[in-house]
Structure 1
Amino acid sequence: MAALMAVSLLAACSTKVSRVGAEEQIDVTDSWNATDSKLVADKMIEDMVTFPWLKEWEEKHDRKPRVIIQSVRNKSHEHIPVGTFINDLKRAMLKSGKMQFVSGGAEREAVREEREQQDVYATEKTRAEMGAETGADFALAGSINSTVQQASGKRVTFYQVDLELINLTTTEEAWYGQKKIKKVADKGGLF
């Protein structure tokens, strides 16, 4: 009898898991999530390519501008996986077809290390050439900020993402973008 009750109790407490499409929006809390990351990245890059800087660049140069992501800082009240947001930005930039993306930071260092290894171990015909990197024309940098207001069983979480595109030669700001998200949560186990 005790074993039957234990099995019944375990069955009642079990978690049901189902698969959904990665693009499907599911909000179980008012925290920043994958939908927010993709939505903000897509909208901001869409805005970036409509600003005058791009047309001016295209008129002066015979190639697409090269962009490097310098940094995106999380200044919000919660842990936000900034790496995921940066990857969403990279994808949106490349998908636009309007610019080229240049790797930086740890990715660039790993490629340089690989090239050094090839210089020693790969044949001359197949090794990647040293000193042939492509430089960036623009650097993208920004931050994710948030505020939270809470009263009478309701919480409002406000996110603001600010990004700026800086010309690396002149240090002029070519573009400044801002995207805001506001989420409302009613008390129901969320907080």
Structure 2
Amino acid sequence: MKMTNQALVLGLLAAALVSGCSTEVSYGDAKATETVTVDYGSTDLQSMSGKMVQSLIDNPVMTEISSTGRPVLFVDSIRNKTSEHIDTEALTDTMRTQLLRSGKVRFVDMSKVAAVKEQLEYQQAAGMVDPASMVRMGKQTGAQYMLYGNLASIVKDNGKVKDVFYQLTMNLMDLKSGELVWADQQEIRKQSKKKTLGW
């Protein structure tokens, strides 16, 4: 009988421990400031891309290049020069979306050139597409400007304090002249401190 009570108590303790280690999932505000770690996060993505887009839209060069209509841009990849694995495509996607929403520019998507070429070749050669709806080769819109950049970081860590500095640099190049017509930098500094137990 004594052994059964001990087994029951141990079973209840084990159940309590397991239930105490369960994971709770909830939705949060996608725009809320994220401060889980000093590593690059969603707040950094939103802040940097938003400020960079606003800088380009507000710059006098945008008024100049859009005076004859909405210029056509393409986005080259942002080079990740940090020590972290960062999905820089999320940065370019966010900036492209915000710029398109502004109504100031148009974009061609260079990442889909191979897929588009394959589809156009199919339409031309297969004989299965109605000629009236067929898209002809050589009718694609050419980009006039290229948007590209770098994401860099500097990390300092003395064991008690970790300081991370991020710098996003973006450039807009006129493809006809090779001239840089706009450039800007956005910077973020984040810091974490190890707390001493008992304080």
Same topology, TM > 0.5: yes
1:115 aligned onto 2:120: yes
The match for 1:49 is 57
SS at match of 2:58: coil
**Which position in structure 1 is the counterpart of 2:142?**
135
Q: Which one of the candidate residues 166, 169, 185 is aligned to 1:178?
A: 185
Aligned length: 186
Normalization by structure 2: what TM-score?
A: 0.86
Q: How does 1:7-156 map to 2 (within 5 A)?
A: 7-59=15-67, 61=68, 63-105=69-111, 107-119=112-124, 120=126, 121-151=128-158, 153-156=160-163
One-letter amino acid of the structure 1 residue matched with residue 29 of structure 2: G
**Residues of 1 paired with 2:66 and 2:49: CA distance?**
23
Bigger radius of gyration: 2
Q: CA deviation digits over 1:131-152, x for unaligned, max 9?
A: 1111101001110000111225
Q: Mark the runs of 5 or more structure 2 residues left unpaired by the alignment.
A: 1-7
Higher mean alpha-carbon deviation, 115-124 vs 21-30, is at: 115-124
Unaligned runs of 5+ in 1: none
Q: Secondary structure, in 3 states, of the residue corresponding to 2:138?
A: coil
Structure 1 length normalisation: TM-score? 0.89
Residue 171 of structure 2 contacts residue 182 of structure 2 at CA under 8 Å; is this kept in 1?
A: yes
In structure 2, relative to structure 1, the CA distance for the partners of 1:186 and 1:124 (3 Å cut) is same
**How many Å separate the matches in 1 of 2:11 and 2:159?**
45
> Is residue 29–residue 185 contact of structure 1 (8 Å, CA) maintained in 2?
yes
- Deviation per residue, 1:59-112 (Å, 9 max, x gap): 4x2x1111101221000010111111111111121122111111113x222222
Q: Distance in 2 between matches of 1:57 and 1:86?
A: 21
The question of whether the paired residues in 2 share the 8 Å contact of 1:93 and 1:101 is answered with no
When structure 1 is superposed on structure 2, of 127-136 and 172-181 the one drifting more is: 127-136
* Identical-pair percentage: 30
Code of the residue aligned with 1:145 in structure 2: it is A
